Each structure stands twice: as C-alpha cells, then as structure tokens.
Amino acid sequence: MTTMTETSARFREFKMPDVGEGLTEAEILKWYVQPGDTVTDGQVVCEVETAKAAVELPIPFDGVVHELRFPEGTTVDVGQVIIAVDVVPGGGEAAEPVAPAAAEPEPAAEPEAPKGRQPVLVGYGVAESSTKRRARKGTEPPAAAAAAIQGELNGHATVAADVPAPTVGTVVPESRPLAKPPVRKLAKDLGIDLATVTPTGPGGIITREDVHAAAAPVPAPASVPTAPAAVAEAVAVPVAATPVPGARETRIPVKGVRKAIAQAMVCSAFTAPHVTEFVTVDVTRMMKLVAELKEDKDMAGVRVNPLLIIAKALLVAIKRNPEVNAAWDEANQEIVQKHYVNLGIAAATPRGLIVPNIKDAHDKTLPQLAAALGELVTTAREGKTSPAAMAGGTVTITNVGVFGVDTGTPILNPGESAILAVGAIKLQPWVHKGKVKPRQVTTLALSFDHRLVDGELGSKVLADVAAILEQPKRLITWA
C-alpha cells in the first residue's frame, strides 16, 4: 500500500497511512490546512487519533490543497484518500477547491487491500514545519489540567524545561497481516500465526472469527482479548457532547483509545488474577532526603520529588526480587522473566490517562532517572507522547495520592506483572522511638498477577519498597 497516488500529472492524493502497529483506522481530529492553502514537503496537514495515540501527519510533497475528503471527527480506514493536492498550481483550468462536507461526506473509493505497514509518519523524513500543533476543538487544556499532570508525576511541582517528544520511525516487513490489536492479541494467546489465517473482513482484514476458525482444534480462551500494552497505557477522556436542553442523559460514542482501553482493562481485570496488598509507612526520612537532594549540586537542573525516590526504591526492590519482573505467555505456557525494567509512570493528561515508560530504568543513576521523569512529564503535558514511549512496560507506578486519596487497588497493564499505587503523604500521629509524634505517613498498594507472583514474592517486594522509604540509606546498602 502506498499513501500517495497520481490522479493526473497535476493532482496527487495522500492516503491515510498505517501510523503504527498495523492499526486499520484513525479519526481525523484536526485539519491544519484548508483548500487553497500552499503546503510544502514535510508540513503537518492534520492530526489523527488511533487506538494508541494522537499523531500529526506530514504531507510528502509540495503544492496547493485542492480538496479535503473528510471533515474533522470522521473515522477513516487506512488506505483511503484524505486530501488531494494540486502539485502544478496555475498549470491550467482546474475544479474549484473542495472542502469536506460538514455532514455526510461523499464516500471515498474502496481502498485496495494494503500490502503491509507503511513507515510511521511521525519523524518520517519530515522537515521542520512552521505549523504549530493545535489543540483539539473544545479541548484546550486548562491550567488546572496541566497542574494535575505535574502534580501526578512531580509532586505538584512545575517542570523545569520542555523536552521534545520522541519519534517513531520503524518499519515492519511488507508481509505483515492486517488485523486490529485485539485480534493480534487473540491470535498470540491461541498460538496462531496470522500469516496462516485467511482473512474474511473488508479490505483483507483478519477478524476474530477468522482466528477462532484457524484455531478450531484448540479450545478458545474464555477471556476477552486485550489490546497491546501500548494501547492499555492510554486512556482518552471522551469529547464532551453538547447537552440537549432539558435532556437527562448524554450519550458519547465509545471509540478510539477509550474503546481500546476498555477492552484492555476488562481483559486484565478478568484474565490476570489480581492480588492487592497494602502497607502504611513512615516516610519522614524520605522527605528529608528529598529536601537535601534539592540542594545537591549533582541534582542541579533536574526535578527532585518523592516520586523519584519511590521509583528508585521500586527498582531496588525488583533487583532484590527479580522474579516479580515477568510476564505470562499464555500461548506457550511460559513465564517470561525480564532482565530489564521499563518503568511505567501513570500520567493524567488533558487527553486522559496514559502510561509512558522509562526504558531500561534499572540502569539509570538517580540524576538520570530524575531527568527521564522530567522528560516524560513534559511530553505528556504537551500531548506528544508517542506510541513507542507507551510500549513495552514491565511494571508501573501510579500516584493516586496527588488527588488526596490514601490509596487504591490498581489494575495491571496487560502484559505486566505488578503495579504500585502511592497514596497521599500526610502528617499523622505515629509511634516513633516509643513516643507518639507527628510523622509524614503514606500508604502503598501493590497489585500483582497471582499466576506468576506468589503472595510471598509480592509481599517481599512491597515490604522492600516500604523499608527503603522508611530508611532511605538502604538505597545504598541494598543497591
């Protein structure tokens, strides 16, 4: 499949590309150009949202916009033409530029069956564009939303500097079958090679029924299939529908990342047997360490907050109990132990909840970990977190304490073995050295997959994290 066609020597068409991981459709969030506008090679012309993230699409040629085939808010299949460009402006008579219909657009031609995934267009040979990213209509992030992100990850502090979002530019083999993420996961769970499955869906898309048919001799799993980890790590807040005066209800379509996360969370909750354990701990010494590190010259230029120490404590606990850092492979009936830690950090953004992760967090020094957290926050706040940044997590931290609650029972991200919830840090009466004194106290909750993490192992991990936060010198003696 190509993303461009030539309808004549004068007009060129740009098709909806596969923007990542074999996805089959995307919603047009925002057009940055209109008919009659001049565009240059590499200029971002629109923003689209898939089941993974919102991405900007650059156009790969110069010209004048002749026609926008679809209005904002339309879900378009991969391979359908979305924009036509006059590449020889002034070269003769041409039809008047056409804007997309506000209501029902004229259906595009049936797309040819894609031959394989195209390169992700974010960072795909794109020249720097002068077009600035615009917020989705009606969802301009208020100051409170930005503050919520910073509070979620940085202890209510402001991020020091903006960090550009990571880009994606990977290419997969041309023979990659076309299927939606839940179908790919189902095939993996059943041990079915999608290349051997005969597709019956429109445009050569493999459906769940096709996978079940291919696995007929093998009983299908009872659980609902889940989306890949990168999808599970992104929750979008549905666009607020305009309420009808006097109406008692408002219905919002379930689509995009909200639909994907719903599938992933249901599957996680009812496939992986969750166990959640709790511990309340005195973190007064940890808070003193945070104050001291803020004055340390080696930490200059990076944000120091409680989350940094908690993240480091979890990494040390995983090093002491490596069996917890694993995944369950249903298809092969194996436990896959990970010898690396991609540490996920739940972030509340104006678009909703996402869980980007810090790659190889176990190898990072404290200043490096602080810098990585700051970069993660900045890209999340700007809405530029890429699908790659949300893929491949192994364990996650969610800071529910920023909302003033004591703790929660977090649901695992599909494919991960554990998630640590951190509650609010509050001044409470505490028995310290035989006397009741006001101390800074928090509650931790660790949810884990009981298929591969026994109660003893989960308890050891949680106890180690608590012990480090109570006595931060263990970061040195246990590291």
- Residues noted as catalytic: 450
Residue 452 and residue 267 in contact, taking contact as beta carbons nearer than 8 Å: no
Chain centre to alpha carbon of residue 368: 22
For residue 295, give the DSSP letter: T
Question: How many C-beta atoms lie closer than 10 Å to residue 148's C-beta?
Answer: 20
Q: Where are the beta strands (DSSP E) in 369-434?
A: 395-398, 418-422, 426-432
Give the C-alpha distances (Å, rounded to integers) separating 44 from 39, 55, 150, 235, 384: 9, 10, 28, 25, 14
Residue 257 and residue 51 in contact, taking contact as beta carbons nearer than 8 Å: yes
Dist. CA 155–CA 438, nearest whole Å: 21
**The tokens of 469 are what?**
């936060």
- b or e along 327-348 (b: 16 or more beta carbons within 10 Å of the residue's beta carbon)? bbeeeeeeeeebeebbbbbbbb
Q: With left for phi above 0 and alpha for psi between -120 and 50, is residue 366 left, alpha or beta?
A: alpha
Nearest to 223 by CA among 175, 250, 186: 186
* Amino acid, single-letter form, for residue 43: Q
- Residue with tokens 């896959």, as numbered in its chain: 336
Beta bridge partners of 47: 30, 56
Instruction: Give alpha helix (H) positions in 357-414.
Output: 366-381
For residue 132, give the DSSP letter: P
Dist. CA 91–CA 63, nearest whole Å: 12
